[in-house]
Each structure stands twice: as structure tokens, then as C-alpha cells.
Structure 1
Amino acid sequence: MIQEESRGKIVTRKLIRHRVSLTYPEVIDLEDKEVEKTINDFIQEEIYKMIIEQGYEEDYTKEFWGEYKVKLKEANILSMLVYINSYSKGAAHGLTAVKAINVDLSTGKVYDLQDLFIKNSDYIEKINEVIKEEIIEKNIPLLVEFETIDKKQDFYLTKDHLTIFFQLYEYTPYAYGIPEFEIPYTVLASTIEESNPMKAFIQ
């Protein structure tokens, strides 16, 4: 299925200040400038929030750097990941936090996971099943047993699947990295809200 080309463009901006050096995305060329401002304000707020949560105002020896990756920009949906890395002098290793931003470029709506599905449908159970099967199949090392995602679980979208991810140390050791689990849209088809952006990518 050929999808409508998404509105706007993504340009890379830099944030450089004492102990911080990162690139971040900015949306430009949207027809609705209020929507454009809303989206860009949200992106910047989330980045600053991530930096603060990693101790910017508490640990004055800590350095921060970061980048972003666009995972989907089609049919007016923008789905991307923002990575913020931090390192304190003398630490064994740095830490990485990841934030997904899933937004409608025509309205500025930011999607939580629960927004994509029919209310009271069994999407959580379907996603949990895929994750649990993959943990077993790949023998993924766990710090604590995985039980369930929640309605605001971290995720991003691609043309083929919804990807659930977890933070460092949330379930797995540092050496494993950021755990990601791909959930094909076909698995979720019966639970997807008609107005939800994933509908555009289900064959």
C-alpha cells in the first residue's frame, strides 16, 4: 500500500552548553505553524526533562551528549527516538536513557501506547505474549521477571511493526543494552483503533 507523504521536514539542531553537547530534531515547513510550535516545544521539553532526570543539576561532574533517530515519517506520523547519554568522572561506564516521541504532524497529538488501541481490548495481553515468547527463545538475561507492560509503555512505530522497548537495568543487565521487542501490526490488527496511525500500514 502506498502511503501519503508526510507533512513537514526534520532538521538537526545542536544544543551546546556547559557539560552538554547533543543533536536534536526540529520539525519545519508544516502548514499549521501552531502545530509546528507545539511539536517542537514538546520535543525540547522532553529533552530537558531527560537531562534533568539524569542528574544535570545534582552532579556537576557529569557530562551529557545525545542524538536522535527517526524511525517513521509517513502518513503524517512521526515516530523517533531521542538518546541522552551521561557519564560521571570515575564511573565504570556511562548511562543511556531513551525517549520515544510519537506525534501526528497534522494535529500535534502526541500518542501514548493506550491511544492506539480500542479501549478495553486485549492489546496488552497480545504484546505481553510476544515479549515473553521472545525472552524464552532468545534466552534474554533478566534482572527481574517480566510480567506486563503498562498503558504508557515506551514504544516506537515503523512501517511493519510496533516496537516496545525498556530502559537500561529495567529488566536486563547493562551489557545487554536497550531491550527491544517487535510486535507485527498483523498480531494487533483486531485491537487497533480505526483512527490510529497504525491502520495506515496494515495490509
Structure 2
Amino acid sequence: MNREVLGARIIQKKLIRYRIGLTYPEITDLENKEAEDTINQLIQEEIYRMIVEQGYEEDYTIEIWGDYEVKVNDKDLLSILLNIHSYSKGAAHGLKAVKALNIDLKRGKLYELKDLFLQNNNYIDKINEIVKEEIVTKDIPLLVEFETIDKRQDFYLTKEGITIFFQIYEYTPYAYGIPEFKISYDILTEMIDIKSPINAFLKE
């Protein structure tokens, strides 16, 4: 693999079990094989965790299917979304859960939101402000009032910015789907840690 690309080669794999059918990514051809194994283990563990959270081990009549999306795969940064759908017989509708994994391809490190920003900076307050403004301007229906994100907040990365998202029913009704709030890196530049992986995209 040409490491000038600074991305990972991704193979689509399938998980087929009783009432389960989904695709998921497998990373290959990394120079650091230990990191490669760690990343693939992270992906598989997260998929199984999501399946269990849908209630599969308690109710084998539940049907589960899913796929994934690659949001960025460049400059030694991989950001992927794992989408898991489930349906229980007799339910009014199915459910969807989404998990983002933001990974350092060199070390196999899983990034949390706090890893991207200066710890002495008010990045949480700034993101909260942006989310609250968008809730108002887009008239997003809420089940409960939005107060704040936290350091373990769900998010994914692109070359242009960070997207904060919430699960169905976390703040919004089922019909609204997964609420996403896209924030350009330019808005957060002064808050980004020098060691943050997104610095590579700011310099383009």
C-alpha cells in the first residue's frame, strides 16, 4: 500500500447469524499490524455491543440488519459510522442506533471528543451554543430540553468539520431520525489542540 495516501484499505465483511444480516468494515494493509488488529477488534466489539443493546440476546425474534459509512479515511485518520437497525415482531416501527468510531490509523487509538480540543478551553460551551442555535433556527422538535454535550459525546469527522449527533429518542422523536449538527473546523480553530488529528485538515 502507498503510505503517501495515509489512509487504510477497507474490505467489506458480512456478519450473518440467525435473524442478523449486516456488513462491516475490516481494515487491512496497515504498516503497523498491531494497530490494524486493535482497530479491527474495536470495530467488531462495537458491532456486537450494539447488537446486544438492541435486545437480541434476550429476544431472538428480533431482526437486525446494518451497514457502515466511511466519513474520512485520510491523513492517518479513519472516521466511520456503524448503523444498526432492529425490528421486533409486533412493534409499530423499527429502531436505529448509530455509533461513530474515530481512529488513529498509526496507533490504533480511539479518539474521544476531549482528545481533539485544548483542555483549558471552553469547547463544550461553544459546541453547546451552536447546537442550541440550530435547534431554534431549524425548529427541531424536542422530547426534552437540550442542556449540554459531554466529553464522551457521539461525533464523527470529515475533512471539513465535526458532526455532533444524538440517538433516536435521546432528544428528538422517532420521526425526526438521527439529529446531526455539522460544525466547520474554522469555527473551532482556536480551541483545537496542536496534537489533534484534525489539524492536518486545517492546513489544507
Specify the TM-score bucket, using the shorter chain as the normaliser.
over 0.9
> What is the TM-score when the length of structure 2 is the normalising length?
0.96
Conserved 8 A contact 1:146-1:171: yes
Distance in 1 (CA, whole Å) between partners of 2:100 and 2:142 is 23
Query: Counterpart of 1:22 in 2: which secondary structure?
Result: strand
| Equivalence for 2:172 | 172
Deviations along 1:141-163, one digit per CA (max 9) or x if unpaired, are: 00001010000100000111100
| Equivalence for 1:88 | 88
Conserved 8 A contact 1:7-1:76: yes
**Worse-matched range after superposition: 28-37 or 4-13:** 4-13
Distance in 1 (CA, whole Å) between partners of 2:111 and 2:158 is 14
| Equivalence for 1:78 | 78
Distance in 2 (CA, whole Å) between partners of 1:165 and 1:7 is 24
| Structure 1 alignment gaps of length 5 or more | none
Distance in 2 (CA, whole Å) between partners of 1:161 and 1:33 is 29
| Equivalence for 2:162 | 162
Deviation at 1:7, TM superposition (A): 3.4
Deviation at 1:8, TM superposition (A): 2.5
Deviations along 1:74-100, one digit per CA (max 9) or x if unpaired, are: 101000100011000110000000000
Conserved 8 A contact 1:126-1:187: no
Deviation at 1:5, TM superposition (A): 2.1
| Equivalence for 2:141 | 141
Computed over aligned residues only, the root mean square deviation of the Cα atoms, in angstroms, reads 0.9
Deviations along 1:113-141, one digit per CA (max 9) or x if unpaired, are: 11111113110011011101101100000
Conserved 8 A contact 2:76-2:105: yes
Deviations along 1:25-81, one digit per CA (max 9) or x if unpaired, are: 000000111110000001000000000011011112101000000000110100010
> What is the TM-score when the length of structure 1 is the normalising length?
0.96
Conserved 8 A contact 2:11-2:25: yes
| Equivalence for 2:151 | 151
Conserved 8 A contact 1:23-1:67: yes
Deviation at 1:6, TM superposition (A): 2.0
| Equivalence for 2:65 | 65
Matched, 1:201 2:178: no
- Runs of 4+ residues over 3 Å off in structure 1: none
Q: Specify the code of the residue in structure 2 equivalent to 1:71.
A: K
Query: Counterpart of 2:5 in 1: which secondary structure?
Result: coil
Deviation at 1:171, TM superposition (A): 0.4
- Number of residue equivalences: 200
Distance in 2 (CA, whole Å) between partners of 1:128 and 1:136 is 12
Deviation at 1:177, TM superposition (A): 0.4
Q: After superposition, where does 1:20-59 map in structure 2 within 5 Å? A: 20-59=20-59
